[in-house]
Structure 1
Amino acid sequence: MMRASNLRMAALVCVVVAAALVVPAAAGTGAFVPVEPVSADTDGGLLSSGSELLGGRPELAESERQTASCGPRFVSPQGLRAQTCTVVGEGDTWARTYWSNTTGRRLDGVLTLLLPDGRAVQARCAIDAALGSGSCETPRERTVPVPEGAEPYAAVAEIAEENAERPLLRSGSAQ
């Protein structure tokens, strides 16, 4: 039986390896490709990569500020875009994915927050084409220090058609 931390490490390695293999092959196979991140906005738009102050309101107290560590924005040939972040604020950490769906179909998403202690928190997301764009978040977890040698917080979003064997798009946070 594989321990939770080993399982988490294996999942993270798979995501990294998949991303490394997909990007060079994307042009010839129609796979999703990363594109340059865009600036943050307050109505569910995609964020730029790296740590960002969400909301950007200087009058917020330090305890009310949120920072995000975001991966690149990915685009699928079917018209789906997503960017996934780990967010920290008010002593909590959670995952958030920003999406844009121009496929004309309702899609299903699963957003996973991987915690340093090997646990995972998931949220199911309705990726509705009628809305055009939106965001989805996992439940918030109390932020804990990352133990030495442990993997940091990470987030992965997978978006697929109902009952599909593979996702149309997979997006991860930057760590």
Structure 2
Amino acid sequence: MANDQLAHFLAHSVELESEAHERYLELAESLAAHYNWAVADFFRRMAHEAELHLAEVSHLAAGMQLPRLKAWEFEWPGEEAPESASYEAVHYRMSLRQAITLALANERAAERYYRQVANDSSDPETARIAAQFADEETSHAEALLQKLRKLPDNGPLLHLDDDAPHMPE
């Protein structure tokens, strides 16, 4: 293979964007089931953004044989791909502000990951592409910050459930 380091990086990038796409779709479906339409729509838009980035990565990898990594072989800074939204951070009554804040954290995590690869890579092509991806994630984060600035603060009763939990006697 002409560039093993680049292929390894692109395999990680494909997985990162695939995971982000799938997770945002899962969250959108979950929030829609709870009639939280604004947040569900936002997560759908984020899934679409991840899908576009996945297409870009796939285009770059066209013609290359990427390594087939097992789940435990991915070298992530945490347990999951950096752009995967945490299930624990989601609440069915979360506000659009909270959803955007979560997505912002994901974009920043992806930016840090790509920047680290760019800084650590001994291959100039891998470093260049990783830096380009990091810059794209930075621009996504900036766009989310602009959206946040336009939203009102959250109310104090956001996570209070209207109904008591059903507990069998």
Higher relative contact order (CA 8 A, sep 6+): 2
Q: Same fold (TM over 0.5)?
A: no
**As a proportion of its length, which structure holds more strand?**
1
TM-score by length of 2: 0.29
TM-score by length of 1: 0.29
**As a proportion of its length, which structure holds more helix?**
2
